[in-house]
Amino acid sequence: MTRSEPCEVVIASYIEPDLAERIAAAEPRAHVVYEPSLLPPPRYPADHHGDPRTLDDGELQRWEAVVERAEVMFDFDWRSPETIPERCPHLRLIQATSAGVGSVMTRTGLDRSEIEVCTAAGTHAVPLAEFALLGALYFVKGMPTLTAWKARHHWELYATHQLAGRRALVVGLGGIGRRVAESFAALGVEVWGLARRTPPELPAGVTRMITQEEMPGVLPDVDVLVVASPLTEKTHHMVGAAELAALPAHAIVVNIGRGPVIDEPALIGALTEGRLAGACLDVFETEPLPEDSPLWQLDNVIISPHSASTLAEENEVLVDLFLDNLARYLDGRPRRNVYDRAAGY
């Protein structure tokens, strides 16, 4: 495909300079604009939000001129994503840096625009699957007890348990959920899956598919419940008080999807009353997690500040995805991970 003019590509969140140079070198049909001095500086590797930056009048004019010409963006405009359709009249494609963009799309109204948005689905699958395994093993191997004994310099022989032979239900079988299923199955766990659409063939590692309607009936037979689904109207509080009550007392709950998929007050109640063995949580109903949340005080809870998916090397993987989708866009081919407005993810 030959273009008379280069495609204007704007990198709208911080990446390492060598990665910006890689984008420019890899696609001769693109004119890549990267102005890191106009972007929020990252607080840690692969931070795509950063601390807010105050621009003076000249810098603000420069940034507005940059986004006004953009046809393709790497990430959402950090200043005012809700006004992107008005301020970016030439914009046709946004490559997001997050797998879950549903809340951003609905909050900003971009779900009603004509701009195509591609998510980063799949790029966080490995670290999140590892985190889910960490959570399950932490409680199965009795780490809360060992931690307490260590603090007391207490030595006592005891019997442990094993994860192999147990059963996990993975709710949500996108790229992340499928990797979770494979990882658990590799350690000898029987994995059941729940997805919005039942796939024609069982995903790797999954031995049985169930529907959402069947979930309450199978939960008494589940040892580890892993939530890896996006947040939509249908998944909001999908795991509520009734579902948590149906789990056996030795069950472990892992949430690597979105906080509101689980009814958090109901989860706190079950954990406080000892009706669950523990919870491993990377996401919460309110973020940051409020200082007065009872979750902070519970010994049977692992709290991760929505960072289990973030790797220091993440930007390299995101740039790989972006370059593929940019080439597809310029060639007129379908993109990967296109946000489904009807489904909400």
Please state the pTM of the whole predicted model: 0.86
pLDDT in tens, 140-156: 999 999 999 999 999 99
CB within 8 Å of 321: residues ≥ 6 apart: 95, 118, 120, 123, 336, 337
Tokens of 197: 């659409």
CA dihedral (171, 174, 176, 179) in degrees, to 10, reads 90
- Give me the active site residues, please: 258, 287, 306
Cβ density class 300-323: b for 16+ within 10 Å, e for less: bbbebebebbbbeebbbbbbebbb
pLDDT in tens, 183-217: 999 999 999 999 988 889 999 999 999 999 999 99
Output 327 or 99, whichever has higher pLDDT: 327
Rounded Cα–Cα distance for residues 342 and 212 (Å):
19
- Half-sphere CA count of 130, side-chain side, radius 13 A: 9
Rounded Cα–Cα distance for residues 135 and 252 (Å):
8
Query: Residues in the chain, how many?
Result: 345
- Statement: residue 338 has pLDDT above 70: yes
The fold for domain 7-122+311-331 equals Rossmann fold (3.40.50)
pLDDT in tens, 90-99: 999 999 999 8
User: Where does CATH 3.40.50.720 sit in the chain?
Assistant: 7-122+311-331, 125-303
- Statement: residue 83 has pLDDT above 80: yes
| End-to-end CA separation in angstroms for the chain | 30
Asked whether the beta carbons of 205 and 231 are under 8 A apart, the reply is: no
Residue 341 phi/psi, 5-degree rounding, is -65, -35
Which CA distances in Å does 324 have to 5, 135, 336?
20, 34, 8
Whole-number pLDDT of residue 2: 58
Q: Where are the alpha helices (DSSP H) in 72-156?
A: 84-87, 102-108, 125-140, 143-151
Give the chain's mean pLDDT: 96
CB within 8 Å of 76: residues ≥ 6 apart: 12, 13, 84, 94, 96, 104, 108
- Statement: residue 1 has pLDDT above 60: no
pLDDT in tens, 111-128: 999 999 999 998 999 999
The fold for domain 125-303 equals Rossmann fold (3.40.50)
